[in-house]
Structure 1
């Protein structure tokens, strides 16, 4: 399993747009074989930081999902929310492998 952690710097004035963007990506990840663990939005402290975590069975499965970027109309529409609202100022992806608790 590979987990993608996306670190966002967001515009705090555009949180409703960011939430629309996030809901679309949670739906798309799930529809294309991934597991979305959610978006984590500011509650206290820095108001311009958000995180997202989602997993695929392998890096190859993630790469298959990525082939839809810039091609699939639903992916393009989801990115349009970000681009037109300016809700995301910048982001970076980190790929991690989870260390889970042992089975009971």
Structure 2
């Protein structure tokens, strides 16, 4: 099965960039812990101040789906879902699935 890379586009609250940065750092670790390879979060620098991105790869779509299922019961993941909701650092997000070309 081919690898799948997940591309997340976030609409964030620019006044809560510190909270979103904390959220991103934690999810990098959690995705790696649950079998993926995180390629990082990309925060606003120039241009739109309320848009951020993330990329991470799983060996297959099935392994991504297993990660999603596990994330809903993993205590650390649940805590981060709650953190985002409580801080309001994320207004909305979109998810896309891509076929990566990696070296």
In the alignment of these two chains, the number of paired residues is: 101
Per the alignment, residue 101 of structure 2 pairs with 99
Q: Does 1:30 align with 2:32?
A: yes
TM-score by length of 1: 0.93
* Segments of 4+ moved more than 3 angstroms: none
TM-score by length of 2: 0.93
Per the alignment, residue 8 of structure 2 pairs with 6
Structure number with bigger Rg: 1
**Residues 41-99 of structure 1 deviation map (CA, whole Å, 9 limit, x = unaligned):** 00000000000000000000101111123322111101112111100000010000013
Per the alignment, residue 40 of structure 1 pairs with 42
Residue pair 1:20, 1:81 contacting (<8 A) in 2 also? no
Q: 5+ unaligned residues in a row in structure 2: which ranges?
A: none
